[in-house]
Amino acid sequence: MPKVLIVEDEVAIARLIEFGLEQAGFLVQMAESAEDAKMLINECLPDVVLLDWMLPKMSGMELLQILRQNKRTKDLPIVLLTARGEEKDKETGLNLGADDYVTKPFSPRELVARIKALLRRRTPHKSDDVITVGKITLNPAEHRVCVDGVAVYFSPMTFKLLHFFMTHTGRIYGRGELLNLVWGDHVFIEERTVDVHIRRLRRELEAVGVADYIQTVRGVGYGFGNVSC
């Protein structure tokens, strides 16, 4: 379930957004200032930040620049929320690194659609889109996997790992990358834990005849190899 951080100092607007996002199935955190948002982001990276332009003390634009200059948060998906609808303002926000720009007042349904589209572009393993690679079809919303049309059970962690691989085919990922991208950068576990889950995933795929989809490059990492569809 994707986590969204709302950075908005107008409580009524923040609560309205929170309600709409929770109804759409998102986990929601809220911060009323850039300083509070920085603390929450330092504790645990959200999947998307909804950032109000005009905030007390530090502005949303200042926070945006700080996040984009930090290696840990430079790729964090960020949507600017603002009443400033001039073309030059949109250009400024996007040039500073915002992924999208939503002008107030906006429809909660539009905002949800924008967030889902952003997740599909930037972090496809966080979206609920059904995906098929080779013989495997994965439905994130139903936590369901079918191989050649037959339903197969996967444990929660191997399901998450499989979802990541299926949305990032054709590239090898190191253990550290997989820990950050699949487990999350706030989870402190040994890199060798990745090996354990890869072996478990391979066994589960082997049981249905598709273990060869998992690729291992010794000394480099793991990936989902090219498979015939």
Q: What is the pLDDT of residue 186?
A: 60
| Comparison of pLDDT for 123 and 167, the residue scoring more | 167
Q: Residue 165: which of 141, 197, 190, 191 has the closest Cα? A: 197
Q: Do 78 and 46 touch, CB atoms closer than 8 A?
A: no
Q: What is the pLDDT of residue 218?
A: 87
Q: How far apart are CA 131 and CA 190, in angstroms?
A: 30
Residue-averaged pLDDT of the chain: 86
Q: How many H-runs (helices) and E-runs (strands) does the chain carry?
A: 8, 11
Q: List strand residue ranges (DSSP E) for the chain, in order.
A: 3-7, 27-31, 48-52, 78-82, 100-103, 131-133, 136-139, 144-147, 150-152, 214-217, 221-224
Q: What is the mean pLDDT of residues 142-157?
A: 90
pTM, to two decimals: 0.64
62: left (phi over 0), alpha (psi -120 to 50) or beta: alpha
Q: What is the mean pLDDT of residues 216-226?
A: 85
Q: What is the pLDDT of residue 185?
A: 62
Q: How far apart are CA 137 and CA 139, in angstroms?
A: 7
* Domain ranges across the chain: 3-126, 131-224
User: Are both 3-126 and 131-224 of the same fold?
Assistant: no
The sign of the dihedral angle between the CA atoms of 46, 51, 56, 62 is positive
| Position 227 confidence tier, pLDDT thresholds 50, 70, 90 | very low
Q: How many residues does the chain have?
A: 229
Q: Which one of 3.30.420.60, 3.40.50.300, 3.40.50.2300, 3.30.360.10 gives the CATH number of domain 3-126?
A: 3.40.50.2300
- Burial class of residue 109 (count of CB atoms within 10 Å of its CB; 0-12, 13-18, 19+): exposed
| Comparison of pLDDT for 183 and 10, the residue scoring more | 10
Query: The tokens of 172 are what?
Result: 């090898």
Overall fold of domain 131-224: Arc Repressor Mutant, subunit A (1.10.10)
Neighbours of 134 (CB within 10 A): 18
Q: What is the pLDDT of residue 188?
A: 62
Query: The tokens of 163 are what?
Result: 């979802």
